[in-house]
Amino acid sequence: MSASNWTADFLGQLLNATITVEQISLPATTLWQIESHQWQQFAELAIQQNVRWVAGWAEHVQDRFFINACFEKQGVYLLLRTIVNAAKPELPSQATVYPAASRSERHTRDMFGIHFTDHPDNRRWTRHQAWPEYSFPLRKDFPVQGAPEAITPPDKDYPFVKSYGAGTYEIPVGPVHAGIIEPGHFRFQAVGELILNLEERLGYVHKGIEKIAEGRTPEALARLAGRVSGDTTVGHCWAACMAMEQAAGVRIPPRAALIRGILAERERIANHLGDMGAICNDVAFVFAQMQLTRLRELWLRTNAMVFGHRLLMDKIIPGGVLCDLSESSCTLIKQDIIQLRKELSEIMPAIDVNSSLEDRLYTAGYLPEETAAAFGTLGYVGRASGQDFDVRRDAPYAPYDQVTVKVALENQGDIASRLWVRYKEIRTALRLIEEFIDQLVAGDIGSEWQIPATGSEGLGIVEGWRGEILAYIRFDADNKISRFYPRDPSILNWPALEKLVLNNIVPDFPVCNKSLNGSYSGNDL
Partner 1 sequence: MLRLFNKIRKTGIVTETFKAPKDAELEQLGIEIKRHIDRKFSGSIAIREVDAGSCNGCELEIHALNNPYYDIERFGIHFVASPRHADVLLVTGPVSRHMQTALLRTYEATPNPKWVVAVGDCAACGGEFGVSYASCGAVSNVIPVDMVIPGCPPTPLALMKGLLGLIK
State the minimum distance, in angstroms, from the CB of residue 300 to partner 1: 7
State the minimum distance, in angstroms, from the CB of residue 358 to partner 1: 13
Residue 164, number of CB atoms within 10 A of its CB: 6
- 490 three-class SS: helix
State the minimum distance, in angstroms, from the CB of residue 293 to partner 1: 4
The answer to whether residue 151 forms part of the interface with partner 1 (CB under 8 A) is yes
Are the C-beta atoms of residues 521 and 224 closer than 8 Å to each other? no
- Rounded Cα distance, 211 and 106, in Å: 17
The answer to whether residue 175 forms part of the interface with partner 1 (CB under 8 A) is yes
Under rule CB under 8 A, which residues in 220-239 are in contact with partner 1?
Answer: 223-224, 227-231, 233
Cβ proximity to partner 1: between 435 and 524 the closer is 524
Q: What is the size of the binding site for partner 1 (CB under 8 A)?
A: 65
State the minimum distance, in angstroms, from the CB of residue 370 to partner 1: 31
- 178 three-class SS: coil
Please identify which residue in 181, 322, 398, 502 interacts with partner 1, judged by CB under 8 A. Answer: 181
State the minimum distance, in angstroms, from the CB of residue 473 to partner 1: 17
Cβ proximity to partner 1: between 35 and 214 the closer is 214
Cβ proximity to partner 1: between 177 and 431 the closer is 177
CA dist 216 → 246, 483, 521 (Å): 17, 10, 20
State the minimum distance, in angstroms, from the CB of residue 146 to partner 1: 3
Under rule CB under 8 A, which residues in 56-85 are in contact with partner 1?
Answer: none
Cβ proximity to partner 1: between 178 and 442 the closer is 178
Q: Which residues contact 313 (CB under 8 A, 6 or more apart)?
A: 226, 227, 230, 233
Under rule CB under 8 A, which residues in 336-355 are in contact with partner 1?
Answer: 346-347, 349-350, 353-354
Instruction: Give the residue from 462, 344, 202 showing the smallest Cα distance to 471.
Output: 462
C-alpha dihedral sign at 201, 205, 208, 213: negative
Residue 374, exposed/middle/buried by CB under 10 A (0-12, 13-18, 19+)? middle
Are the C-beta atoms of residues 340 and 295 closer than 8 Å to each other? yes
Under rule CB under 8 A, which residues in 375-434 are in contact with partner 1?
Answer: none
* Kind of pairing between the strands at 22-26 and 29-33: antiparallel
Cβ proximity to partner 1: between 176 and 451 the closer is 176
Under rule CB under 8 A, which residues in 128-147 are in contact with partner 1?
Answer: 128-131, 137, 142-147
**Range in contact with partner 1 (rule: CB under 8 A) among 12-20, 203-211, 259-267, 376-384:** 203-211
Q: Which residues contact 489 (CB under 8 A, 6 or more apart)?
A: 378, 379, 464, 466, 467, 468, 469, 522
**Range in contact with partner 1 (rule: CB under 8 A) among 7-15, 172-180, 241-249, 257-265:** 172-180
Under rule CB under 8 A, which residues in 280-299 are in contact with partner 1?
Answer: 287, 290-291, 293-294, 296-297
- Rounded Cα distance, 102 and 477, in Å: 33
- Rounded Cα distance, 20 and 328, in Å: 58
Residue 399 preceded by cis peptide, ω within 30: yes
**Range in contact with partner 1 (rule: CB under 8 A) among 249-257, 306-314, 402-410, 463-471:** 306-314
Residue 175 preceded by cis peptide, ω within 30: yes
Please identify which residue in 153, 249, 443, 455 interacts with partner 1, judged by CB under 8 A. Answer: 153
State the minimum distance, in angstroms, from the CB of residue 281 to partner 1: 10
The answer to whether residue 111 forms part of the interface with partner 1 (CB under 8 A) is no
Taking each helix axis as running N to C, give the angle between helix 218-225 and helix 233-248, from 0 to 180 degrees, rounded to the nearest 10: 150
Q: Which residues contact 355 (CB under 8 A, 6 or more apart)?
A: none
Taking each helix axis as running N to C, give the angle between helix 254-281 and helix 509-516, from 0 to 180 degrees, rounded to the nearest 10: 170
Cβ proximity to partner 1: between 131 and 485 the closer is 131
State the minimum distance, in angstroms, from the CB of residue 233 to partner 1: 7
- Rounded Cα distance, 168 and 186, in Å: 16
Cβ proximity to partner 1: between 393 and 480 the closer is 480
**Range in contact with partner 1 (rule: CB under 8 A) among 112-120, 192-200, 204-212, 386-394:** 204-212
Cβ proximity to partner 1: between 84 and 361 the closer is 361
State the minimum distance, in angstroms, from the CB of residue 30 to partner 1: 32
Q: How many residues does the chain have?
A: 525
**DSSP helix, strand, coil percent of the chain (3-state; round to 5):** 45, 20, 40
- Rounded Cα distance, 196 and 35, in Å: 41
Give residues in contact with partner 1 (CB under 8 A). 128-131, 137, 142-148, 151-155, 175-176, 178-183, 203-209, 211-212, 223-224, 227-231, 233, 274, 287, 290-291, 293-294, 296-297, 300, 304, 310-311, 313, 346-347, 349-350, 353-354, 519-521, 524
